[in-house]
Chains A and B, each alone.
Chain A
Amino acid sequence: EPEVTQTPSHQVTQMGQEVILRCVPISNHLYFYWYRQILGQKVEFLVSFYNNEISEKSEIFDDQFSVERPDGSNFTLKIRSTKLEDSAMYFCASSDGTSGRQETQYFGPGTRLLVL
């Protein structure tokens, strides 16, 4: 069964450093998403991406965040200058974008980011 994959599974970085989180969405999917879950808190939407551009973003997704689809398979989330409060589990998801009410977002296993 096709699945969303994410690398790395864990990343530790120093405050102020740039990090890139990588995702490989399901191959025929058209919409891609990033969510985050701060420890003990809700899963929060960050951004959705369609047709090589951001289709929707939350207020969390400020100028320090960016997303890119550098090739036909990868989808990345870049955090330019990490802050302590960026420590969280980051989930990538994808959906086929064609099914209307049948559409489902499929989630990857997550990348746990720790900013020291």
Chain B
Amino acid sequence: AQSVTQLGSHVSVSEGALVLLRCNYSSSVPPYLFWYVQYPNQGLQLLLKYTSAATLVKGINGFEAEFKKSETSFHLTKPSAHMSDAAEYFCAEGRRALTFGSGTRLQVQP
């Protein structure tokens, strides 16, 4: 069975600092990988997805993720955090039945 692991249930950064949210997947075949964001009391919004066209994927709101097959990782980064980035971030894998990680809550300190 597929599994997705997100290291760190909570990450706190200062405004303007680098954001790094970690995700590792288990699939042995080329995976379908996604990052979703959930703002308080809202649904899941797609940040970006890996389509195999490029290993560095750019998404919305300045986020990007790098697919590293050798590390089975798809970490999410943003060079400079903004207060509005505070939310819960989910990594997911799959074609139809998505398998989600447990989520990372990002706090941004002023």
Closest to B9 in A: A40
**Which residues of A have CB within 8 Å of B94?**
45
Chain B binding surface SS class: loop
A105 within 8 A of B: yes
Count of residues in B whose CB is under 8 Å from the partner chain: 24
> Which of B32, B90, B99, B101 contacts A45, CB < 8 Å?
B99
In the complex, are the beta carbons of A31 and B96 less than 8 A apart?
yes
Q: Are A102 and B51 in contact (CB under 8 A)?
A: yes
- Stretch of B21-29, B39-47, B64-72, B77-85 on the interface side: B39-47
- Is A58 on the interface with B (CB-CB < 8 A)? yes
B-side contacts of A35, CB under 8 Å: 98
Residues of A within 8 A of B (CB): 4, 31, 33, 35, 41-45, 48, 55-56, 58, 91, 93, 95, 101-110
Interface residues of B (CB under 8 A from A): 32, 34, 36, 41-46, 49, 51-52, 90, 92, 94-103
- With A42-B100, A44-B100, A58-B97 known, 11 other A-B pairs at CB within 8 A are A33-B96, A42-B102, A43-B92, A45-B98, A48-B96, A91-B44, A101-B52, A102-B51, A104-B46, A106-B46, A107-B45
